[in-house]
Chain A
Amino acid sequence: MSTAIAIRDAKVRFGHTQALDGVSLDVAGRDCFGLVGESGSGKTTLMRTILGLEKLSSGSIALFDTPLGKGGIRQRSRLVQAIFQDPAASLSPRRRIGQLLDEVGEVLGETREEIRARQRGLFQRLGLPTATLDKYPYQVSGGQARRVAVARALLMRPRILIADEPTAGLDVSVQGDLLNLLQELRGDNDLTLVVVSHNLAVVRLIADAAAVMHRGKIVEQGPAAQVFDAPAADYTRRLLASWPRLRAARA
C-alpha cells in the first residue's frame, strides 16, 4: 500500500507564531485519517499546507511519492481536493453553480460534453436536482451547498479528499447524512480521506488512523484504536477525558 501523504519535519511560521513546529506524519493510501486537536493546535495550518494554501518555512511534503516544491498548487490540484467548513462560503457568490463546476472541466482539459455528463452523474449520485446548476450559491440551501462542494471536489478526480470540520454547525440529527456519504465515497473510490476536526467522538468512529496535534506539534499518532482507546500521551488522555459521556447518566 502506497503512502498517500508523507510529511517530514514541516515547519510554518506566521510572524511571531510557530504554527507548525516540526510535524512528521504518514497517511496510508485508501485510509481515513483523522487529524484532531483543539483550536490553535495547528491542524488547520497543516491542512492548508498540504493543499498549498500556505507555504512551508522548512520541511517537506510528498503526495503519493511526488515531492511537492514549496509552492505548486497546480501540481497538487489533481491529487488532493477539499471540502471546507462553511460550504456555502466556499462557492464563488457571483457565478452560477454550473459555471463553477464547468471550471473543473477547464482545469482538467475536458470538453464541455464530458464534464457536463460527469456533473449529471455525480448530481444524481448525491441527490441534487440538475436545476441546481442554474442557481447562484445564495439560492440553494445549506445542505445543498454542502453537496455541491462535494461534487466539485469529486469532479476533480482527486486521490485524496480532505474534509475540514465536516460536522461543524450541523445538528446531531443531520450530521449522519454527511458522515455516511463520506463513508460511501471511501467505499466506491480509490480515495484517501483526511478528516480535520475537533470532534473526537466522530473521528474515532470513521478514522483508521489518527494524529493528535497540540501547539503545532503532533503529540500522538497511530491506529485509531490506539489513539482513541489506549492513548499513550498525557494530553490525549486529558482531551478524551474532558469529552462528555452519555453513559454517566445511564449508570
Chain B
Amino acid sequence: MSGATITGLAVDFATKGGIHHAVRNVDLHAGPKRILGLVGESGSGKSTIALALMGLLAANARVTSGTLELGADRFDLAQPQATAALRGRRMAMIFQDPFASLNPVFSIRAHLNEVLARRSSEPTGEAQRRAAIDALSAVGIDRPEIRLTQYPHELSGGMRQRVAIAMALLARPDLLIADEPTTALDATVEAQVMKEICGLRDRIGCSIIIITHSLGLVAEYCDDIAVMYAGELVEQGRVAAVARDPGHPYTRALLACEVTIDAPRGADARRNRFRMIPGDLPDPMNLPSGCIYRTRCEIAIADCARIVPPPITVGAEPDHWARCIRVEAR
C-alpha cells in the first residue's frame, strides 16, 4: 500500500441558476498508514469529493477533471465509471448514516460474505465464516457468532458503524473514505468507533480519508489535515503543524471558533463570549476574483482580489502549505 494521491479534482453541478463549480482544483494526498482529516463547513464541498472518488455523485453532477493515483495505478476521474471497479476492492466507503452502508433485508453475515466474495480468493464455507467472525471481533463487537445472524435494525448505530468498518477490514482497501462516520453517534460511542478506524489503519496499512466538520475530531485522531472552504482546498499539512501554526486565515479563524472541552473558563459564565466568522459564503454563481476567502478575511489586501493564491509553504514543516499570499503576515 503506498497511499492515494488526488490531483486537480474539479466537480460541477448543473442547477437551475447555472453551473455551480462545487469543487475546484483540489490536490489531496493521503499517505500509506496515515489518516487524513478533510475538514470543512457547509458548502465546502468536502462530501462532494468523497462521492466523486467513489463514483456516487448525483445525476446533475459531473467530474470535469481530476486524477487518482492509487499505488502505481492512475485513474482519470473525469471518465464515467472510472472507479467502479475499485469499489469494494481497493476503495471502500463508510457513510454518516450507519444504516446507509447496510441493506436492511440482509443479515450481517450476508453483508460480510458479499465483501469476502469480491475477494474471490477466499475459500467458501467454514473458512469464510471464521473470517467474518474474526473481522467482527477485530472491531470490538461482542458475541460475533450471534451478530452474524442479526439484521441491521437489531443493532445500535455504533454497532452498525463497526460492522461497516469490519466490512472495510475484510475488503482490505488501499483507500478508505469515511464521510462523517461519527456525526450521528454519541460522544462515548464516537470515541470507540474512531479507535476502531485508527486500528484499521494500523492493521491493514491503508490510507484513510475522514471527512468531518469537527476540528477536534481531526486533532484527536488524524495524522494529517486538509481544510476546505467554499470548494477549494486552502491548507494542508500534518495535524500537529497546522494546529500549532495555521498558515491560512480561515484555518486560524476556525480554530478560534472551535469550542474545546478544555477551554479556559472564567468564574462567571455570563462573561464568556463565542467567536464567529462574520460574513457569508460567497455566492456560488458569482465567485470573488482572486482569493476565495478574501470577502471574510481579516488581513485581506488589494492584491488578494487580483491574485489566485498558489500553495505557499508554511514554516519549516514538510508538506505544510496554505493558499494565502500573506502567509508571512500571520
Are chains A and B touching in the complex at the 8 Å CB cutoff? yes
- Which residues of chain A are near B41, meaning CB under 8 Å? 171-173
A187: Cβ under 8 A from any B Cβ = yes
CB distance from A155 to the nearest CB of B (A): 23
**Size band of the A side of the interface?**
35 or more
Interface residue from A199, A205, A244 paired with B272 (Cβ < 8 Å): A205
CB distance from B211 to the nearest CB of A (A): 14
Q: Which residue of A lies closest to B279 (CB)?
A: A173
A43: Cβ under 8 A from any B Cβ = no
Q: Which residue of A lies closest to B242 (CB)?
A: A249
B220: Cβ under 8 A from any A Cβ = yes
Interface residue from B243, B254, B261 paired with A172 (Cβ < 8 Å): B254
Residues A244 and B186 in contact in the complex (CB < 8 Å), given A174-B277, A183-B273? no
Residues A201 and B259 in contact in the complex (CB < 8 Å), given A38-B188, A175-B274, A246-B243? yes
A11: Cβ under 8 A from any B Cβ = no
Chain B: residues with Cβ within 8 Å of the partner, total of 39
Type the 1/0 row for B224-250, where 1 means its CB is closer than 8 Å to any CB of A: 000000000000000110011000000
Residues A243 and B270 in contact in the complex (CB < 8 Å), given A171-B42, A175-B276? no
CB distance from A164 to the nearest CB of B (A): 17
Q: How many A-B residue pairs lie within 8 Å, measured between CB atoms?
A: 123
Residues A244 and B220 in contact in the complex (CB < 8 Å), given A171-B41, A239-B187, A249-B240? yes
B260: Cβ under 8 A from any A Cβ = yes
Interface residue from B214, B244, B261, B273 paired with A204 (Cβ < 8 Å): B261
Contact A245 B257 (CB under 8 A): no
Q: How far is the CA of A194 from the CA of B206 in the complex (A)?
A: 45
CB distance from A115 to the nearest CB of B (A): 30
A229: Cβ under 8 A from any B Cβ = yes
Contact A198 B186 (CB under 8 A): yes
Q: How far is the CA of A224 from the CA of B273 in the complex (A)?
A: 16
Q: Which residue of A lies closest to B43 (CB)?
A: A171
Contact A183 B270 (CB under 8 A): yes
- Which residues of chain B are near A207, meaning CB under 8 Å? 269
A180: Cβ under 8 A from any B Cβ = yes
* Interface residues of A, Cβ cutoff 8 Å to B: 32, 38-39, 171-177, 179-180, 183, 186-187, 198-202, 204-208, 224-225, 228-229, 238-251
14 contacts between A and B (CB under 8 A): A39-B186, A173-B253, A173-B276, A173-B277, A180-B276, A204-B261, A205-B265, A208-B270, A243-B216, A244-B191, A248-B219, A250-B219, A250-B240, A250-B243
